[in-house]
Structures are given as C-alpha cells and as structure tokens.
C-alpha cells in the first residue's frame, strides 16, 4: 500500500517538474506540505523522494532539503554510417535489427489498420519492381512500413534514425553471389519480404516475427 501511495506522489511531483512548475534548482515543498497535499504519511513522502532521486530528478542535501535537477536535453539516437567501420560492426547492426524488427513485425500483425495495410502493400510492390539503383531505398521503405504498422512510434523513430544505411552497409560486405544484380539472390530476398508482408497482412503475429527473423538471419548468415 505504501508503495502504491508513493507512486502517486512521485507521479504528481514528476508531472510538475516536467511541466516546469517546479524549475531546476527550486526546492521541493517541505515534507509537511506534501503530507497535507497528498494526504499520506511521512514514510510515503520519503519513499517518493527516494524514487525521484533514483530517477535523477531531484538531489537531496542533508539539513537543506531536496532540490529539482535540470532535465537532460533530449537527444536523437543515431547510428552514423561513419561509426560502422568493421565487419564486426556490420554484424552488430544486423543483430541490433534482429532484436528490434522481429518484434515490430509481430506487433504490426496485431495492430494493422486499413491505411497501414495499404502502405505495406504499396511498399512491397515498389520493392518487387525496383531495379538495382532503387533497391536500397525500396528495401528500407518496406522495413519502415512494417515499423510504422507496429503502431509504436519508437520503432519507427529508431528505423528512421538508422536510415537506408542499415540496408546499404550489409550489402557492401556481401560477395558477388549476393549482389543486387544476381537474379537468384534478388528472388530470394524478394520472397523473404513477401513472407513478412503476407504474415503481417494476415494478422499472424508469430509467423510475422518468424518471417522477419528468417530474413534478417539470412542476411547475417550471408555476411558470416
């Protein structure tokens, strides 16, 4: 019960901090004020302040009280192509995508709207029709459409931060047998994409996850 009450106090104070009502450097209201405001015990208030400290929102000084800390500036996560320098780095990018995109495909299958389905079909059609010069952008657009269909903006933000380089970098490390002009390889990759699209459009979350894993694991295997 104490933990639940402390969570309510934490949420209330955090909301005021994020809204700017409690500015950086400003002292939190006294324990007595918070006790009266939230109708809880001193133990609850102290637990709430401990949690706020753990989250880096306040700092407590003995004998002086607790003060609001400056919020860190938001940063945009990016994996710059210039930082991917070795074969190991390329494999790590594919591993990273495996952890992200398989779950995005699974979510997409369960959350697909009519508009998302239309976008996914269009992306698949564009990928299937793309020539070597358009293949990287079309491939990225397909993966972006799957992420968008997940309904979770963080999946989409992450893929957009990676950009088409996430497609291009592995391809620069593949042999001639896996080039964009090798008919067998192009057909295999097209089929892998179609399997992902079909599972998502069918609303089959487990198959969508598995199909994306087969596709990305195949890329990793070819790199290895």
CATH number where 176 lies: 1.20.120.530
Element spanning 209, H or E: helix 205-223
Is the residue at 55 inside a domain? yes
Is the residue at 112 inside a domain? yes
The domain that holds 38 is classified in CATH as 1.10.10.10
Beta-bridge partners for 61: 65
Residues 140 and 212 occupy one common structural domain: yes
Token pair recorded at residue 212: 């994306």
Residues 6 or more apart whose Cβ sits within 8 Å of residue 224: 91
pTM comes to 0.66
Beta-bridge partners for 67: 27, 59
One-character DSSP codes across 165-190: HHHHHHHHTS-GGGSTT-HHHHHHHH
Q: Return per-residue pLDDT of the chain as tens, 224 residues.
A: 555 788 899 999 998 988 889 999 999 999 999 999 999 999 999 999 999 998 889 999 988 899 999 876 666 666 666 677 788 888 999 999 999 999 999 999 999 999 999 999 999 999 999 988 888 899 999 999 999 999 998 999 888 888 888 888 787 776 766 666 667 888 999 999 999 999 999 999 999 999 999 999 999 988 87
- Name the 3-class secondary structure at 30: coil
């Amino acid at each position: 019960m104490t933990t639940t009450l402390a969570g309510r106090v934490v949420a209330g104070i955090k909301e005021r901090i994020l809204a700017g009502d409690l500015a950086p450097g400003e002292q939190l209201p006294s324990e007595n004020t918070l006790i009266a405001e939230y109708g809880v015990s001193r133990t609850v208030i102290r637990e709430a302040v401990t949690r706020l400290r753990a989250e880096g929102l306040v700092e407590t000084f003995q004998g002086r009280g607790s003060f609001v800390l400056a919020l860190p500036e938001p940063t945009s996560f990016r994996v710059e192509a210039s930082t991917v320098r070795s074969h190991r780095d390329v494999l790590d990018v594919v591993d990273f995508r495996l952890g992200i995109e398989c779950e995005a495909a699974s979510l997409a299958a369960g959350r697909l709207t009519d508009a998302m389905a239309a976008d996914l079909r269009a992306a698949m059609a564009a990928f299937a029709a793309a020539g070597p010069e358009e293949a990287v952008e079309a491939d990225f657009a397909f993966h972006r459409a799957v992420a968008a269909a997940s309904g979770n903006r963080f999946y989409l933000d992450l893929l957009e931060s990676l950009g088409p380089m996430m497609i291009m970098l592995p391809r620069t490390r593949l042999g001639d047998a896996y080039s964009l002009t090798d008919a067998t390889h192009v057909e295999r990759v097209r089929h892998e994409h179609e399997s992902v699209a079909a599972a998502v459009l069918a609303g089959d979350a487990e198959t969508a996850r598995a199909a994306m894993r087969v596709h990305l694991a195949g890329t990793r295997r070819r790199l290895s």
